Amino acid sequence: MQRAAAKPAPSHRSGDRTCSFRRSRRSLIAASVGSGRPVRSSARQTLKVTPRTQKRKTPKAAAIVNRVEPQSVTPPSVKKKTSVAAVRSLAANDAAKSSLTTDGTLRVVHSISVRPSGTTLRRETVRKRKVVQMPPPMVAPSRMEIPAWMLKECRIEPARAGDQGEILQLLSSLPDAPTKAEFHASVDHPEHDANNRLVARLGGRILGHVEVSPRRIHLCGAVVDAAALDQVAVLPECRGAGHGQRLVKAAERRMRELGAVIGFSRTRIAPSFRELGWSVLGRDGTTVGRPSHILSRILELPARTGEPVTMRQWRHVELPAILRIYKQNVPQFVGPLVRSEAYSRWLISRCAFDSIIVALVGHDRYDLHETTARIVGYAIQDGNRILELLADPEFPGLERDILARVCSEAIENDRQEIVFESSSSDPLHKAIAARDQQRVSGDRMIVAKLFRPLEALRAVAPIVAARMNSQEIRETLELGIDAPDFRGSIIVSKGEATVHPGRVGRSYLRLSDDELVRLLLGQCDPAEAAAAGRLAASTHMAQKLASLLFPRTPLWYPIWDDLTA
């Protein structure tokens, strides 16, 4: 008996599609009934009634099926953009409506908080107002404690040849850091000594550096031995531990060993130097102006009378003439260096300038000995900075003509401003600065310390006697000085001045060491110091003698000598 062939299983694909269609159709109908929205219909979505559907139909379902009809498709609504002004007006209308109660009376609004532009106003009652959380007060950060190893006393000693790289890296943090070429070329200085460069060592590491430069300076017409303190630097992470003070004290001992009468320094940390006994003399005189404005103000002034001059760039063979003009002007100042020819050539070789303009009188031709033309003025420039501008005293007003030439070249080179650096008493500062503009002083201060007051007083004694002779004072004058570091008197008689240590006499001044330095350097006004309580005169004559023997003298510490290349 043959087994009947197995019948293939019926395919339910069409049934599956019908069931899924019915389920989706029922869910669509239920959603439309619940939401009340129209249902989009098509030929495919028409419900087909089958016997199985008729068996499962209930009265409720039949009603739903009978209600399903094709409807028109409604396009989606487009949102309209509302401007900021419209939002604000709507918010104002809502606020006005909400402020009215049901009976038409106004309701009091306790507070209104204003929001930024583009937002609505929000009203809050006092009861529902949120508590404002104020930020905690700002507390100044406490100073970081210095590590214990850094508080150990460092060792100060002269720098060695192998320290140049580490020293150069340390000096790079200075505002006027020297270049590598200039640092290595400093050994060519005429008075270079390896023992004058001091470093601070701690644990085999260099923490600080200072350089002492022996110099001779003009002091009210006299020449005294001095020294300059330069390139004082300490590692940033090691500051505040006293290493800088140890370096400065070691440099002071080195200055005394060199026989310096007085020490000078140009610094930005004058308060730190004052704590170590240094006296603040003044600031660098600096003025900034526009070349076109300066030139217009110079042209308004009366023209200079005298021989006409011509101006051009300098030649190297004219260095002695420039040095001659410098020597003619420095006796009237306090602080300029005594520049020898060797030192001047070293300054030129450093190339710490861009150009030098010279003013000549006579026929300009190439001449080695100034037989046909004579140089009567010069100006040293570095970019838009005027480092020095001097003229022969026999040609008054020539400085303005040289300044006009500098301004003309600045306009041709499209330089927007000129920086003039000179003594604060230089009259050219008024020509450079505008009438409604104050002179801009640099942040560098000039400080000094007197190591040998007796030698300084003996150096200026002949100048004091000559000053009395020029005023035709023949009487014997005696002024005593009573200070912690010096006690003595100066006597002017018969055209000569002598210093007597240990004797103060009847008319004397009692003052501090700080004020003594300012008095001997011509930076102290006795009447002003007495009014401020920094100076006490035993008699009224003593204060008059102080003003007569030690008058105010312009301070000028040339920037060209300390400018980095």
- Better-predicted residue by pLDDT, 389 or 116: 389
What would the pLDDT profile of 399-442 be if each residue is shown by its tens digit?
A: 999 999 999 999 999 999 999 999 988 999 988 887 655 555 55
527 belongs to a structural domain: yes
The average pLDDT across 203-219 equals 90
Indicate left, alpha or beta for 231 from its phi (over 0: left) and psi (-120 to 50: alpha). left
Query: What's the CATH code of the domain at 526?
Result: 3.30.1050.10
261 belongs to a structural domain: yes
Question: 295 with 431: CB under 8 angstroms?
Answer: no
pTM of the predicted model, to two decimals? 0.70
Domain count, the chain: 3
Picking from 448, 459, 513, the residue whose alpha carbon sits closest to that of residue 218 is 459
Flag whether pLDDT at 536 surpasses 60: yes
Residue 114: what pLDDT? 52
16 belongs to a structural domain: no
What would the pLDDT profile of 248-264 be if each residue is shown by its tens digit?
A: 999 999 999 999 999 99
Q: Are residues 293 and 423 in the same domain?
A: yes
107 belongs to a structural domain: no
Q: Which of 441, 461, 479 is the last residue of a domain?
A: 441
Domain around 202:
149-283
Q: Are residues 219 and 320 in the same domain?
A: no
pLDDT class of 237 with cuts at 50, 70, 90: confident
Q: Are residues 359 and 470 in the same domain?
A: no
Q: Are residues 242 and 358 in the same domain?
A: no
Q: Are residues 405 and 476 in the same domain?
A: no
What would the pLDDT profile of 18-45 be if each residue is shown by its tens digit?
A: 454 455 555 545 555 444 555 444 444 4
- Radius of gyration of the chain, Cα coordinates, nearest whole angstrom: 46
Question: What's the CA gap between 136 and 184, in Å, rounded?
Answer: 54
The average pLDDT across 511-517 equals 93
Query: What torsion do the CA atoms of 399, 401, 406, 407 make, to the nearest 10 degrees?
Result: 120
Question: What's the CA gap between 523 and 526, in Å, rounded?
Answer: 10
Q: Are residues 275 and 305 in the same domain?
A: no
pLDDT class of 11 with cuts at 50, 70, 90: very low
**Count of helices and strands (H, E) across the chain:** 17, 21
Q: Which of 260, 283, 306 is the last residue of a domain?
A: 283
477 belongs to a structural domain: yes
Residue 46: what pLDDT? 46
For the chain, give the mean pLDDT: 79
The average pLDDT across 291-311 equals 91
Question: 472 with 288: CB under 8 angstroms?
Answer: no
Question: 311 with 357: CB under 8 angstroms?
Answer: yes
304 belongs to a structural domain: yes
Q: Are residues 247 and 172 in the same domain?
A: yes
Query: What's the CATH code of the domain at 268?
Result: 3.40.630.30
Residue 6: what pLDDT? 45
3-state class of 553 per DSSP?
coil
Q: Which of 248, 267, 283 is the last residue of a domain?
A: 283
